[in-house]
A = this chain, B = another copy of it.
Amino acid sequence: MRLYDFTLSGNCYKVRLLLALLGHDAEVVQVDLAGGAHRHPGFLALNPRGQVPVLEDQGEVIYDSQAILVYLASRYAGTDWYPRDALNQARIAGWLSFAANEVAKGPGQARMHRLFRLPGDLQQAQQRAIQVLELLDAHLSQHSWLAEGSAPTIADISVYPYVALAGDGGLDLLPYTHLGGWLARIRTLPGYVGMPGL
């Protein structure tokens, strides 16, 4: 298994975290985003979207961080991290969408603007991030894990990185106590690994 990776990417970290929780190793290939390596033809042949992470496994290439979580959990985790019934799969899909949309546009973008000095409207991203944090805090006041079951799933892994890294975008997580409990539960999972900033 080979992972095309960028250490500071929360999307790549999702994959590294699930691999660690599952006890799997991958050969890690660093992609030099600052140097534009993700726009080189060789990389675009792997992933036409020009994004990390990309996973190679058993002769197949899988890109998109949410897709890789689905792949790894489906192939290597039995039903622990990705239950197979319609309702659980739907709940998880809803959080994967939330990770790809609201979390990316909120805490994800706020972090990009502030940490990597990318252009954009920091204040707007922070306002969206606060909506994300409030929504998660309310949900986690009722549930231990995002998909509402008694165990963590890939829904938690997909939402965790950019929420946990919200401080990089100038946001304060302290007021969100239910969210804080969930972050702590994730950090005590057997096999948990962090990333720079966490």
Residues on A lying within 8 angstroms of B by beta carbon are 48-49, 60, 62-71, 74-75, 84-87, 89-91, 93-94, 96-98, 100-102, 104-105, 135, 138-139
Q: Is the interface of A mostly helix, strand, loop or mixed?
A: helix
In the assembled complex, the Cα of A22 lies from the Cα of B126 at a distance in Å of: 41
Q: How far is the CB of A24 from chain B (nearest CB, A)?
A: 14
Can you name the residue of chain B whose Cβ is closest to the Cβ of A82? B89
Which chain B residues lie closer than 8 Å to A65 at the CB level?
A: 97
B67-A93 in contact (CB<8A): yes
In the assembled complex, the Cα of A91 lies from the Cα of B47 at a distance in Å of: 12
In the assembled complex, the Cα of A48 lies from the Cα of B141 at a distance in Å of: 13
Q: How far is the CB of A26 from chain B (nearest CB, A)?
A: 15
B94-A63 in contact (CB<8A): yes
| Given A71-B87, A75-B86, A86-B74, A96 contacting B48 (CB threshold 8 A) | no
Q: A90 is contacted by which of B49, B67, B89 (Cβ under 8 Å)?
A: B67
- Top-6 shortest CB links A-B: A67-B94, A71-B90, A74-B86, A64-B94, A75-B86, A70-B93
5 contacts between A and B (CB under 8 A): A66-B97, A93-B93, A96-B97, A100-B100, A101-B101
